Amino acid sequence: MDWTDLIDTAFKVAGNSNRANQAEAVRTVEAAVIDGEEPVASTAGRHPDHFRKGVLVLTTHRLLFLKDGKPPVPVPLAAVTDTTVTRTKFNGEVLTVVALTGSHRFEEVVKAEVFAEQLRAAARIARTARPQAPAPSDAAPGEQLLDQLERLAALRTSGALTEEEFSRAKQRLIG
């Protein structure tokens, strides 16, 4: 499946047949693709700040929310610590994604449980196959190390990393 097929399918599910919006979404995503990033899955959903549905695109590296040709809101999969689906009377199936970068909520998600399972699996793979590179920072090297150790501890506490994975990652950081 390529980017165009993935986004077209999600737009159809969202009930948005505007070809210009679909083409703009494809261009936006293709311009922001990371080396080696491949499409995995997509669905339709609504961000609480928006009236109309947008598109949730899952890649091998990130979760993206696309709406009306605006820049995508990326959530790096290696930072995802929890994904849940709840059902409410007014907002339908609600997908909540908790990551080290913040919490993200999407409402009226089509086939939310299936998409959440795909997201959980992709996040697991991203955490084990692609160790997160240190973020560039103006902080002193000691502060950077402390920040990275705190992130690892948060991943371990959330259950995203086993004790063994935590120890190996900590050893790589400390040297």
Write the pLDDT tens digit of every residue in 73-97. Answer: 788 998 898 999 999 998 899 999 9
Pick the most confident of 98-107, 135-144, 154-163: 98-107
Region label for 136, one of left (φ > 0), alpha (ψ between -120 and 50) or beta (otherwise)? beta
SS3 state at 85: strand
Domains of the chain: 3-129 (2.30.29.30), 141-174 (no CATH)
Predicted pLDDT of residue 39: 83
Q: Rg of the Cα trace of the chain?
A: 17
Token pair, residue 145, equals 């190390």
Tell me phi and psi for residue 77, to 5 degrees: -65, -35
Token pair, residue 69, equals 């040709």
Find out whether 109 and 43 touch, Cβ atoms under 8 Å.
Answer: yes
Find out whether 72 and 42 touch, Cβ atoms under 8 Å.
Answer: no
Predicted pLDDT of residue 8: 67
